[in-house]
Amino acid sequence: MTAPMRRNVFYPFLVSMALLCCSTLLASSHREAPHTLELPKTDGTDFYMFRSYEEGREDYVTIIANYNPLQLPYGGPNYFLLDEDALYEIHIDNDGDAVEDITFQFRFSNNLAENFTLPVGDEGATANVAIPLVQIGALSADNIPNGSVVQVEERYTLDVITGDRRTGAKTAVTNAESDATSFLKPSDNYGSKSIPDYAAYADAHVYNIALPDASTGRVFVGQRQEGFVFNIGKGFDLINLNPLGAVDAESSALQQVNITSIALEIPISYLTQGSETVIGAWTTASKRRNRVLLSEGKPVGNPFGDSSEGTTSFDNPDVEFGRWHQVSRLGNPLVNEVVIGLPDKNKFNFSEPMNDGDFATYVTNPVFPELIEILFGVTAPNSFPRNDLIQVFLTGIPGLNQPANATASEMLRLNTATPVTARADQNPLGVLAGDNAGFPNGRRPGDDVIDAALRVVMGVLLDETVAPSGQAAYTDGAYIDARLFGGGFPYLNHPIDGSSF
């Protein structure tokens, strides 16, 4: 196949994705479904799981769930709080049955810890007036907690649930040094004047945690620089890029925005069960089914049934109640963007892995290659059901990351027995390039999931006789590798500061 012919195959493939994704971004679940556009704080964007490659931490698994996409660094004055009326959860299946066995549950509270005022007026007629800004002075690692200079204090709790995430036994995770059950989230990176040394300030919010079995791990929740790369601007300018050019020929506009990361480092022994070394994982966010907006001066009866009433305030603008309803779900990257059809994108976000039979046709009989063939006259992979995609997305790959009793379900799977690949030796294409510690055996920050996923969907794992268009070296030109990230927990880079623009 000549290079020009390959180029013609690739362009319609991306055009088809752009048409089908409609208003979504081709990124690892950035605004991937219509409903999450309305609830951006609960929009899960990227999910990572890998054996820690920080020196001396190889017996741990790092799990990172990113939320609240496309945070402009200069997004003041209120910046990017997480939703205190939501459940943020990371689920672990350690026996292959597509049901959670361990859930790490995060709850956030955003409180007006201080009410900073300034005296305004002439002598004798001075009024103390609340300031409109979040902060009134410089933050550093030395003045944590931040109440002396920041009005809004963000805290979170972390619980571990064994068994069913709604009915299982719940145990609070504590600070291993202080036994506290509440953890402080660092303020977003307002800028270099407000937080002169953000790295030191943020690092002071990495906590050692005590788990229910007396083992220890680490947790960090806070703003990070977006770690996902994709050339969005040119990609949506009628695919104005060279898909067979150099892998570093283009930039990634996503590198100019931030994200909020929920990061855990947990011992392998805590996550696995018996002799099974493969774990599956996914992240979800849930909201209450009902919401009442409170009006100043017009108290509303508390829907929870007690006698209290309240009016709107900074801490209490509304009341949410009722059963939890899952609104966001993410395991493997790109599934809801380029695998699930538009009519079912919200349904997929509301679903659980145990019910993924509802979406099986999207994997066994993928629509994208067929659309390419119909619209552009090329030959789509002709192998049905697409067992290669079933293994990558639904069961794990035999001999790599498929559990002994695998139930077909979409989640990110990691074989915790796979040796760690040192940061300097990691290949961005992961398993496709012989680096078995990378995607789709888990996912590391430096794995190029766009390039890998394009090749897999087009049939790189199939024989050329049934996938003649599958062997091209597709790339969006936005380069990524492990050296662009930190070498230790929480791995993703510190956020871009708000005064850098």
pLDDT in tens, 282-329: 999 999 988 887 765 444 555 544 434 455 667 667 788 899 999 999
Q: How far apart are the first and last CA of the chain?
A: 45
For residue 445, whether the previous peptide bond is cis, meaning omega lies within 30 degrees of 0, is no
d(CA 180, CA 315): 23
The answer, yes or no, to whether residue 127 has pLDDT greater than 70, is yes
Bigger pLDDT: 400 or 152?
Answer: 400
- The tokens for 427 are 């290949």
Q: Given this model, what pLDDT does residue 375 score?
A: 57
Cβ-based neighbours of 359, under 8 Å, separated by 6 or more: 340, 344, 348, 351, 410
Per-residue pLDDT band for 488 (boundaries 50, 70, 90) equals very high
Per-residue pLDDT band for 377 (boundaries 50, 70, 90) equals low
Residues 49 and 443: beta-carbon distance below 8 Å: yes
* Strands ordered across the beta sheet of 174-175: 44-51, 60-71, 258-267, 216-225, 207-210, 174-175
> How high does pLDDT run on average in the chain?
84
What sign results for the dihedral spanned by CA atoms 197, 198, 201, 204? negative
d(CA 216, CA 206): 13
d(CA 497, CA 430): 31
Q: Given this model, what pLDDT does residue 148 score?
A: 73
Q: Given this model, what pLDDT does residue 108 score?
A: 96
The answer, yes or no, to whether residue 397 has pLDDT greater than 80, is yes
Q: Given this model, what pLDDT does residue 20 score?
A: 34
Bigger pLDDT: 234 or 81?
Answer: 81
- The tokens for 218 are 């680490």
Of the candidates 441, 428, 351, which has an alpha carbon nearest to the alpha carbon of residue 391? 441
Q: Average pLDDT of 402-420?
A: 96
d(CA 471, CA 275): 37
The answer, yes or no, to whether residue 432 has pLDDT greater than 90, is yes
d(CA 378, CA 393): 25
Q: What is the pLDDT of residues 263-281, one digit of tens each?
A: 999 999 999 999 999 999 9
Q: Given this model, what pLDDT does residue 453 score?
A: 84
Q: Given this model, what pLDDT does residue 325 score?
A: 92
Q: Given this model, what pLDDT does residue 414 score?
A: 98
Q: What is the pLDDT of residues 176-209, one digit of tens each?
A: 999 999 999 999 999 999 999 999 999 999 999 9
Bigger pLDDT: 375 or 436?
Answer: 436
Of the ranges 29-33, 247-251, 427-431, which one carries the lowest mean pLDDT score?
A: 29-33
Residue whose structure tokens are 């689920």: 91
Bigger pLDDT: 92 or 124?
Answer: 92
Q: Given this model, what pLDDT does residue 442 score?
A: 97
